[in-house]
């Protein structure tokens, strides 16, 4: 995708975050790999006012052109630098993900769809002040072998190869978080065993689950 298409795609994704109810106000931010660096949302600009030209281009040393980048540029930069399997990073303060994160709760495999984030848990990173290198470091650790994590007393991060896939995963994480909060209201649920989760991962591979229908043939 050329840079202008990426910029338009990012603005559309930001607005969708609000429309889908996973973000509010000026919390949340997104980035996408672009050339030798990344495009990232500017800090503190409401999404309904944001235009494609407002997005900030940044290199991996943190030099940027244009408006001031999101206060969370460190973890966006560090994730895109460290994770060659990822091209898009989305952060939001979705209500249920943040609710669990305020209790420092990982999301265990209480439901098989936890596998969509790449493992048997969606980890919660310890609390660190927003915008700091410390937050970036704990986020990267929580994201090891995963495509999503919770951030203690803060929100969630979802990764993708495109903005669209990162958004889809963020919605999935929020749905799982909501389900888990509801499930906990009835008591501690049984957690699917690692063996059962291995079957889920196998089945995801077998049927190409979560991929677009044309990307894989059906099993």
Contact set with ligand 13P (CB under 6 A) = 26-29, 41, 43-44, 70-72, 91, 130
- Residue 155 near residue 91, CB atoms below 8 Å: yes
Looking at the Cβ atoms of 70 and 165, the one nearer to ligand 13P is: 70
Question: Contact, 69 vs 42, CB < 8 A?
Answer: yes
Minimum CB separation of residue 42 from ligand 13P in Å reads 8
Q: Residue 55 and residue 34: Cα distance in Å, rounded?
A: 12
| Alpha carbon distance 166, 116 (integer Å) | 11
Name the token pair of 147. 């495509």
Gap between the Cα atoms of 32 and 35, Å rounded:
10
Between 93 and 111, CB nearer to ligand 13P: 93
The nearer residue to ligand 13P, 78 or 197, going by C-beta atoms, is: 78
What is the nearest approach in angstroms of ligand 13P to the Cβ of residue 212?
29
DSSP state of 114: G
**Least CB distance to ligand 13P at residue 3 (A):** 20
Nearer to ligand 13P, 7 or 91 (CB): 91
* Closest distance of CB 22 from ligand 13P, Å: 12
Question: Is 72 noted as a catalytic residue in this protein?
Answer: yes
d(CA 134, CA 128): 6
Q: Which of 3, 49, 72, 195 is catalytic?
A: 72
Strand-pairing partners, residue 91, are 29, 157
SS3 assignment, position 124: strand
Reported as type and span, the H/E element at residue 10 is: helix 3-19
The catalytic residues are: 72
């Amino acid at each position: 995708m050329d840079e202008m298409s990426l910029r338009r795609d990012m603005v559309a994704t930001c607005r969708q975050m609000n429309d889908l109810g996973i973000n509010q106000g000026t919390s949340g931010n997104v980035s996408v790999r672009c050339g030798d660096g990344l495009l990232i949302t500017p800090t503190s600009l409401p999404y309904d006012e944001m235009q494609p030209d407002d997005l900030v281009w940044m290199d991996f040393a943190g030099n940027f052109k244009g408006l001031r980048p999101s206060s969370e540029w460190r973890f966006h930069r560090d994730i895109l630098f460290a994770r060659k399997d990822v091209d898009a990073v989305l952060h939001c303060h979705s209500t249920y993900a943040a609710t669990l994160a305020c209790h420092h709760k990982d999301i265990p495999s209480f439901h098989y769809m936890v596998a969509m984030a790449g493992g048997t848990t969606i980890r919660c990173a310890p609390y660190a002040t927003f915008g700091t290198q410390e937050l970036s470091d704990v986020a990267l650790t929580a994201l090891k072998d995963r495509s999503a994590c919770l951030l203690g007393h803060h929100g969630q991060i979802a990764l993708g190869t495109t903005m669209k896939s990162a958004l889809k995963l963020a919605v999935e994480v929020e749905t799982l978080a909501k389900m888990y909060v509801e499930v906990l209201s009835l008591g501690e649920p049984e957690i699917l065993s690692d063996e059962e989760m291995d079957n889920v991962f196998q089945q995801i591979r077998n049927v190409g689950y979560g991929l677009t229908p044309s990307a894989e043939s059906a099993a």
